[in-house]
A and B are shown apart, each in its own frame.
Chain A
């Protein structure tokens, strides 16, 4: 096992803009690191350069103590699980799992022991004689996992391994992969576009956009202290509400509503000349009838079972609030929105960078 360390990685296809614009990332030994971001953000490219399937234009890739910039994939001792499984269709499950060991000229008896061990761990024991086409999606993905773990590589690379599975199977496999990591403790780089997957699986998460790292932190760190507007809205579902805000006599104002709470000093200094953005998570918005706070009209209610998402229009823009239980209100109802400014996030309106620490002194509401 070994850590994976990237320093100033630049990758460009052809003559266009680089897809990776100087990536610095340290995945510690045994860590489960999730790379998350929208399509085209460069997350899969990071996996491909770490695996050696793509060459980098500049920077340094280190796996353990070894710089592997110029090493071909076979010398990097990593294992990769692909989105479409990439099982060898002409080989039985047993031979699929044994493939890497055979290529590495492992003795036959040892291969047999290792393959059966891996199959046992993944509940594939009864399928060793089947061809991939005889397996279901979940089983195929488990074979792909088996092929990865059997070699006991320095690191695992997962490229959206669950996105081809149906919702129920995805939740199940998510838990299986997490449990597998708990057990094997192999350094893992896991790419997904699904922020729920990222939040539930990652020990740390790196959020990417446009080939740049936006933030690397533990899941709750990202949720509670997003470094910028992008991270704030990308992590969390429904996404964080973003509203234009300003200062009115040193107090926070959104639309026609002026809150009695103050704002952090840093914000006050910066925001004097121009407005800023207020970010508030749906669960921190309180919908009530007293004429206090931001006036809003209900556009749509989504009952989710345990909670309801309420979509509203306000003078400052459209927002969504999450309430526990079944909403008793209905469409077109006039309501008011209130929130604890201590739970609010502030971002620069141009750069989107986080302002202040997000906790407002004198949390009087």
Chain B
């Protein structure tokens, strides 16, 4: 084998290993969800188990309050996405385009909040929400998630705005728009890729989060998907098939969202506007 072929084989081998590590758990979950009964362990290596059935999917969808959890999760996640994107789009713009006292400190403060582990912020967040009476309420959860997602989103938006030449907005203002008009007619449409990333990130923050939801939400009727799934794991018995089927169903909206937004996540949208 030549040296080059060896290098290539090593590279592909390493990549294959990581790919396997990524895919194996998902395949395993799919496999468990199809097994009849709640068998977590099996000696069979078959991907599609013997006697595979969709019973677990039927059970989770219709025998459990899965659709209620899904509804709650959607309300929370969509709200977090809308509020998060709106706040990040405007705050990022202010940080990118204006010079004001506290600008540097503000950006730094945003960055610093990202340094703390989320669990550390949990207690103060809980106390804060209790003070304003939003514990065990959806708005409370939404506020908590927006607060968690916002720093990253603001930084992303700020960075993207800074890559858009300020002359485009100036041209729009000379052409007759207000500053807000220049922002909405020129800057915002050009920021589509960053807006999409921000939206995805906000959505994901809320969709798959467990810890904060566990602390803030107690009412069964307000359970989000992660809380609901966790409730399937009882003290004495875990409904592994239902659990796995639920996990797969939770993934579907996220995958769909990714596919839908994929085409916006292209770079080079601002090409050609200015020389350079």
Contact = CB atoms under 8 A, between A and B. Distances in A.
B275 interface: yes
A147 B175 contact: yes
Nearest to A144: B171
A53 B97 CA distance: 13
A104 B174 CA distance: 12
Interface stretch (A25-33, A83-91, A177-185, A291-299): A83-91
Interface residues of B, number: 25
Contacts of B269: 89-90
Contacts of A53: 170, 173-174
A99 B172 contact: yes
Given A53-B170, A82-B167, A82-B171, A87 B177 contact: no
Contacts of A58: none
A103 B272 contact: no
A72 interface: yes
B174 A89 contact: no
B190 A84 contact: no
Contacts of A80: 170-171, 174
Contacts of B168: 86, 88-89
Contact of A89 (B170, B185, B273): B273
A86 B167 contact: yes
Interface in B151-204: 165, 167-168, 170-178, 181, 185-186, 189-190
Contacts of B186: 88, 90
A100 B189 contact: no
Given A86-B165, A88-B186, A134 B272 contact: yes
Interface in A72-101: 72-74, 78-80, 82-90, 99-100
A86 B273 contact: yes
A175 interface: no
Given A87-B273, A133-B272, A103 B174 contact: no
B177 A103 contact: yes
Contact of B171 (A72, A86, A140): A86
Interface string A119-141: 00000000000011111010010
A164 interface: yes
A104 B177 CA distance: 8
Contacts of A134: 272
A103 B186 CA distance: 12
Contacts of B174: 51-53, 73-74, 78-80, 157
B271 A89 contact: yes
B274 A85 contact: yes
B183 to A, nearest CB: 13
B195 to A, nearest CB: 13
Contacts of A135: 272
Contact of A87 (B176, B181, B272): B272
Contacts of B173: 52-53, 72-74
* Most interface-central of A84, A88, A135 (chain B CB within 10 A): A88
Contacts of A90: 186, 189-190, 269
Contacts of A164: 275
A134 B271 CA distance: 10
9 contacts: A74-B175, A84-B167, A84-B276, A85-B274, A86-B167, A86-B170, A88-B273, A89-B273, A100-B175
Given A51-B174, A137-B275, 4 more contacts: A83-B275, A89-B269, A90-B190, A103-B185
